[in-house]
Structure 1
């Protein structure tokens, strides 16, 4: 079943690997479910059922003109869960923009079927810099993203965005040129409409009111050197508002730590998830220390 049709008729491409307790992986902007392949393989090999899908407008999914607000995106997530039969004992894992889908699903759909969540480099609770969110991203910076995309999308992604995303510097690069080229190619597969509309959504949606809906154990992981999604406005605020949350900070890691710290995040997810044979949440490390060194 490679495609799920949402309530508004949009085709969503779904990868469904392995068997066991379901773990649903929600990708970041402007990528696709392919960003999760290394983690998906490891989790499936460990005995979990891994479901990863392409957000509407991205990857192999349909490219409708509308529906890039978080209410609709959370409904898409609900439709994927329903169509795949992953409606109980589910762990939701959202990276970057994908953390917003997790938050809005927990509030809008009451966290139906979910027993644990993970927010990785997530935009939750609020990206935009405002008087009551002083550590956020200035409006002018968010506007530069849209302007760069409109001027020359391929150049913006290859030579500006993904360099910062993966922490590429003048004298060091934690990823290969091939990774940068592949990320750019995946970003270019998305529709221009979806790319711009989702940037507007993740940059301006306030999820602070959704935090109380996280009523399950939650793992929050964020790189301290993240220049794309600042940790002070997101992860360090999210852990204050989510009752049963643990924050693990990856010292010196950039936004794209699912690639630059691939083995570490895979191990931390497996530790958090616990025994795949258990049909209730028994994982997690509640100490204040990092799950891995």
Structure 2
């Protein structure tokens, strides 16, 4: 699989599967692009081209000390698209902190580069609890997470994924192996990127970015999400983005990519449509087209 070079030289791993209308799948924290494998396979089978990066610091991408902010993350997405030779508008699908990349990419690149947007259990528009965002997450919660990761990251994530998937004494929505696989992906990341990325999604205010959502937008969020509360995120986006479609998964926790996998994939396929349109028009053969200018890239 290929690597793209970011503006600062960081090498970004990504999968590039299939042909057709391109869909970029942006994973959540602290996972990797592997968390989108099931959805990516189904999208390719429906005629789409699935592009699945590992965020800098995670998965198989480089683990630099710097660059763990959403402006850089959005530029990294642009670098991946350039390396993949994608010049037509793409559909962006962001899970959890990946939703912030969707928002910032829209702000920096605009509708010219984006066809549709999907936010799944997303941190957009603002995670932190403040006077003007009372439904957000208290700073003390983020402080406890940081302390836990610094003390014993492996142990912290074992417990973290219980809440992530909504597992408990009376509820086991995913198998032990799914939790183990999530833990595996989390432990592939470096400690510095893990902490810095958490700081980024906990403190970045995407409310100004909402005005950039001028494309068809789908919001999917579990009503029992304790990791990213729906009242501070998904419902706000649905209220403030004209025409946004909100699908609430009643009783579902944060990790709907696994707990509601089939429903989620079907909702994505319905929203994104048949990906063979690009093939019919020959657009998927334009990978050798004239590259974007520096201004257009970033």
Taking structure 2 as the reference length, the TM-score comes to: 0.92
Point out the structure with the larger helix share. 2
- CA deviations over 1:209-261 (Å, ceiling 9, x no partner): 00000110000000001000000000000112222310100001110011010
- CA deviations over 1:52-102 (Å, ceiling 9, x no partner): 010000000000010001011010011111111222131000000000000
8 Å CA contact 1:87, 1:112 repeated in 2: no
Q: After TM superposition, which residue ranges in structure 1, 4 or more long, deviate above 6 angstroms?
A: none
**Equivalent position of 2:243 in the other structure:** 244
Q: Separation in 1 of the partners of 2:243 and 2:208?
A: 16
Q: Separation in 2 of the partners of 1:263 and 1:51?
A: 20
**Equivalent position of 2:61 in the other structure:** 61
**Equivalent position of 2:146 in the other structure:** 146
8 Å CA contact 1:96, 1:123 repeated in 2: yes
Unaligned runs of 5+ in 2: 279-298
**Equivalent position of 1:179 in the other structure:** 178
Q: Separation in 1 of the partners of 2:79 and 2:277?
A: 25
Q: Is 1:220 matched with 2:219? A: yes
**Equivalent position of 1:105 in the other structure:** 105
Q: What RMSD in Å do the two structures reach over aligned CA positions? A: 1.0
Q: Is 1:3 matched with 2:3? A: yes
Q: Is 1:157 matched with 2:170? A: no
Residue 109 (structure 1) shift:
2.1
Unaligned runs of 5+ in 1: 280-293
**Equivalent position of 2:232 in the other structure:** 233
Q: Separation in 1 of the partners of 2:104 and 2:260?
A: 27
More relative contact order, 1 or 2 (CA 8 Å, 6+ apart) = 2
8 Å CA contact 2:163, 2:227 repeated in 1: yes
8 Å CA contact 2:89, 2:112 repeated in 1: no
Map 1:1-293 → 2, pairs under 5 A: 2-158=2-158, 160-279=159-278
8 Å CA contact 2:103, 2:206 repeated in 1: yes
8 Å CA contact 1:224, 1:253 repeated in 2: yes
Residue 181 (structure 1) shift:
1.3
Of residues 30-39 and 174-183 in structure 1, the stretch that sits farther from structure 2 once superposed is 174-183
